[in-house]
Amino acid sequence: MPDAKLEIHQFACLSDNYGFLVRDAATGRTATIDTPDADAILAEAARIGWTITDIWNTHWHPDHAGGNAAIVAATGAKVTGPAEVARIAAAPDVLAAPGQTVALGGSIATVLDVGGHTLEHIAYHFAEHTVAFVGDALFALGCGRLFEGTAEQAHASLERLMALPDATTIYCAHEYTQANARFCESLGPASAALASRIAQIDAARAAGRPTVPTSIGLERATNPFVLADEAGLRAALGLADASRTALFAEVRRRKDVFR
Ligand SMILES: [Zn+2]
């Protein structure tokens, strides 16, 4: 039974990021998940009448923690995040280590290790609300580029996310889905589930609608980076006997050079 109502407000910012404001209704505690654009986040919070009390960072990249200083200056928000955030901002007030829980009022999130895109990348999983904020670790039909971690690390991170219930709503930080769909088509024949999803994605984007959030179930059924349609993927890539990690690494390698 959910312990408190968790309200989520999603909006577009920068060229292809999403901002997320999350509010524990009972206490009014409100977090911005990452800080892609401080001005846009502050304006959006003011527009909907929410007062930012917290910043929850997923990783250190400038389009995720670059707005920390300005939002702290404007609101006095408490910063929660991995230690790596100190590369471009003040060290977090609360270090969020994998396995710990962090609280937004009465709403509790578990910190998940989703390293790979960056070494200390984390996700926030509100189990009782079946919601997770995953930053750049997992995208709709994609996953973040491996700037720092190994394929082994990233594959293990994605497996941890895929262990969440199918119904879990996944808020990822970028609208990359249509480009990811074109990459999926380049891998070989699409499964029926993937083909159907791609048609929905193209229709949504043509109508100007977001494709985020997604869900664990949808990614499990269609996303090649989590080895959906594993048999078809092995056949298409000629990797019948490769380990699952090697199969993931090959999909990621192909995406890195896909144009
Ligand atoms: Zn990033």
Per-domain boundaries in the chain:
6-134+168-172
The CATH number corresponding to 6-134+168-172 among 3.30.2270.10, 3.60.15.10, 3.30.420.40, 3.10.580.10 equals 3.60.15.10
Per-residue confidence (pLDDT) for residue 1, from 0 to 100 = 44
Cα 32 to averaged position of ligand 1 atoms, centre (Å):
16
Per-residue confidence (pLDDT) for residue 4, from 0 to 100 = 55
Cα 60 to averaged position of ligand 1 atoms, centre (Å):
7
Q: Is pTM, for the whole model, over 0.95?
A: yes
Whether cis (ω within 30° of 0) applies to the bond prior to 224 is no
Cα 137 to averaged position of ligand 1 atoms, centre (Å):
8
Cα 146 to averaged position of ligand 1 atoms, centre (Å):
9
Which pLDDT tens digit goes with each residue over 72-99?
A: 999 999 999 999 999 999 999 999 999 9
Cα 236 to averaged position of ligand 1 atoms, centre (Å):
29
When the pLDDT of each residue in the chain is averaged and rounded to a whole number, the result is: 97
Residue segments in the chain with a per-residue pLDDT below the cut of 50: 1-3
The Cα–Cα gap between 247 and 90 comes to: 38
Cα 161 to averaged position of ligand 1 atoms, centre (Å):
17
Cβ atoms of 31 and 45 within 8 Å: the answer is no
Residues with CB under 5 A from ligand 1 (ion): 61, 136
CA neighbours within 13 Å on the CB side: how many for 253? 9
121-149 per-residue burial string, b: 16 or more CB within 10 A, e: under 16? bbbbbbeebbbbbbbbbbbbbbbbebebb
Cβ atoms of 37 and 46 within 8 Å: the answer is no
